[in-house]
Amino acid sequence: MNLTRPALILGLSLVLGLSALGYLAGKAAIQVKEYERSVTVKGLSEREYPADIVIWPLQYTEAGNSLEKVYAALENNNARIKAFLVGKGIPREAISVSPPAVTDKSAQAYGSGPAPEFRYSAVQAVTVYSPNVAVVRAAMADLGELGKEGIAFTGGNYEARTEYLFTRLNEVKPGMIEEATNKAREVAMKFAEDSNSRLGKIRRASQGQFSIGDRDNNNPHIKKVRVVSTIEYYLSD
């Protein structure tokens, strides 16, 4: 009799303990399941900034039958181009002259076709690299002045394309990331409201690549900077 009562108490305690453990485990499983509910949203930040560097190649050609005269013409044209640029407010240190690319057409001739009018042709480029975009763009508008002096600039080819750069990305990154994150949270809160849920903490987040492009074909000096952040939030009832 004395042994039966303790055994009964022990058995009852085990049953109660297992029941409590099962209840707690079940509650924990429900909580874990609730935490697994989430929503993934994207936030966009897009801004426009003026370019802060311009690379302007002024490319032209010169031809002749005397190599010495071709080089003399190149030197004369380079001097006139430099004088024009300096006169427009561009400092000399922002101007560079690349070695000319000279072609001897007689060395390329073959067959019985007619001989070229000029034996030598040279392609020359004078390049402006400047952070003063406005001054350089004003000089571009007046380039016809050199055309009237007989310098014919080439255009349309890749080498002669003007480039505009935006180099202050690290300065604008923090503000744009914050904006993208806030917009993503607004979307997530709207989703939670529509689904009768409460928005929880961030489960995971990834910052997309920043992209920099021209605003449009006619305004390459205005850059569009863009970033998309992807954020996953927990949801709870």
What does residue 77 show for φ and ψ, rounded to 5 degrees?
Answer: -65, -40
The pTM (predicted TM-score) of the whole model is 0.77
DSSP state of 65: S
How confident is the model over 53-102, as pLDDT tens digits? 999 999 999 999 999 999 999 999 999 999 999 999 999 999 999 999 99
- Going by C-alpha positions, the residue among 145, 139, 144 that lies closest to residue 88 is 139
DSSP helix/strand/coil, 147: helix
Which residue type does 215 have?
Answer: R
CB-count burial class (<10 Å; 0-12, 13-18, 19+) for 68: exposed
Q: What is the pLDDT of residues 189-237, one digit of tens each?
A: 999 999 899 999 999 999 888 999 999 999 999 999 999 999 999 998 7
In sequence order, which residues have a C-beta less than 8 Å from that of residue 117 and are 6 or more positions away? 63
pLDDT at 236: 87
